[in-house]
Every structure is written in structure tokens, then in C-alpha cells.
């Protein structure tokens, strides 16, 4: 009987020592959640290089050279011949000058239209690109915030999983140690009993 009491007492003492080492009584506490860091706004883009403006075509010579009669002439006999031909061909020269005049007016109107159209197109594209750039900046900012929140969440999950696994491992190791020691004690008891 005495041996049995000693063995039982020894088993109790070993079990309590194992439990103390395995920290069974200690309650598990989760680490505090990591704070989410909100990134600042995106830095502004560098301003684009200035656009070199293509010069407007010079139409001064065209505006001055539309009169056909001014080109006729010269000095001496040529002048007389040009006057004579001018009277004979007056209707043709008038028609040509009228056409030239309208052509010069049309060319000037086309140049004015192209200038106005290019200015309006650049203004429109600048507005569209400004809106697009602002929206892309906001999207990038939101993505950075979500990325930080995701990283924080994953870090918290990893710490929680590590804590749960560590507690489970401690408990499992303690139980395995208890079972091993109990087997050893049971084997020793069987040997003592079979020796008697």
C-alpha cells in the first residue's frame, strides 16, 4: 500500500509540474490590433513640357498679290501694250480679280477657323485630362488606403493564428509529456507488480 501511495503521489506531483511548465492555467491574450496607417495624398505630377506653337502661315503676300492689273505694266511700250490688252481683256481680268479676292478671303477665313478650332480642342483636352488625372489620383489614394488596411489585417491574422497555434502546441506538448510520463510510471508499476 505504501508503494501505491508513493506512486500516486509521485504521479500527482509530476502532473502538476508538467501543467505548470505547459502554462495550462495561464489565459491566452490576443495582441492589440495594429493601427491602420492612412497614406498622404499623391505627390503632384510634374508639369508637362510646354508645347511649341506652330506659327500661323504668312499670307501677307497672298493678300497683296490678288490684283492682276497691278502686275501688268512696267515702263514704255510694255505699259502701252498692257493697257491695250487690259481694255480688251477687261472682263476676264475682272473675273480673275474677283476670284482671287474671294480665294484670299476664303484662305483667311480657313486660317482663322483652324486657329479657333485648335484653341477649343486644346482647351477641351486640357479639361478632360485634368478630370482624368484627378480621378486617377483619387483612385490611387484609395488603393493605397485599402492596401494598408489589408496589410494590417493580414498582420493581425498572422499574430492571432500564431497565438492559437502556440497555445495549442503548448497544450499538446504538455499532454504528450503527461502521457509519456504516465506510460513510464505505469510500466514501472507493472514491473513492480509482476516482480512481486
Distance of CA 125 to the CA centre of its chain: 21
| Residue 172 located in a structural domain | yes
| Residue 47 located in a structural domain | no
Q: Residue range 76-85: average pLDDT?
A: 71
| Residue 52 located in a structural domain | no
* Sign of the Cα pseudo-torsion (183, 186, 192, 196, in order): negative
| Domain housing 105 | 2-23+59-195
pLDDT tens digits for range 131-148: 888 888 888 888 888 888
Q: Residue range 8-35: average pLDDT?
A: 67
Please state the domain count of the chain: 1
| Residue 71 located in a structural domain | yes
- 124 pLDDT band, cuts 50/70/90, is very high
On the question of pLDDT at 130 being above 70, the answer is: yes
| Residue 177 located in a structural domain | yes
Q: Residue range 103-111: average pLDDT?
A: 90
| Residue 118 located in a structural domain | yes
**What is the pTM for the complete model shown?**
0.40
- In 3D, which of 6, 14, 7 has the Cα closest to residue 174? 14
Measured CA to CA in angstroms, residue 35 lies from 17, 142, 152 at distances of: 40, 17, 7
Q: Residue range 56-72: average pLDDT?
A: 72
| Residue 126 located in a structural domain | yes
Could you tell me which residue, 27 or 107, shows the higher pLDDT? 107
| Residue 78 located in a structural domain | yes
Mean pLDDT of the chain: 79
Amino acid at each position: 500500500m505504501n508503494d501505491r501511495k508513493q506512486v500516486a503521489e509521485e504521479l500527482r506531483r509530476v502532473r502538476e509540474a508538467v501543467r505548470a511548465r505547459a502554462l495550462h492555467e495561464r489565459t491566452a491574450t490576443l495582441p492589440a490590433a495594429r493601427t491602420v496607417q492612412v497614406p498622404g495624398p499623391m505627390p503632384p505630377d510634374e508639369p508637362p513640357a510646354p508645347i511649341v506653337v506652330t506659327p500661323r502661315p504668312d499670307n501677307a503676300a497672298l493678300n497683296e498679290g490678288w490684283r492682276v492689273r497691278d502686275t501688268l505694266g512696267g515702263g514704255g511700250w510694255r505699259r502701252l501694250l498692257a493697257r491695250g490688252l487690259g481694255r480688251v481683256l477687261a472682263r476676264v481680268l475682272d473675273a480673275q480679280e474677283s476670284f482671287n479676292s474671294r480665294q484670299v478671303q476664303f484662305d483667311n477665313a480657313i486660317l482663322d477657323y483652324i486657329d479657333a478650332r485648335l484653341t477649343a480642342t486644346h482647351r477641351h483636352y486640357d479639361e478632360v485630362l485634368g478630370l482624368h488625372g484627378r480621378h486617377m489620383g483619387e483612385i490611387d489614394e484609395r488603393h493605397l488606403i485599402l492596401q494598408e488596411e489589408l496589410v494590417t489585417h493580414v498582420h493581425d491574422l498572422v499574430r492571432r493564428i500564431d497565438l492559437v497555434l502556440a497555445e495549442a502546441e503548448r497544450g499538446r506538448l504538455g499532454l504528450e509529456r503527461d502521457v509519456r510520463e504516465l506510460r513510464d510510471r505505469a510500466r514501472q508499476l507493472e514491473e513492480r507488480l509482476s516482480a512481486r
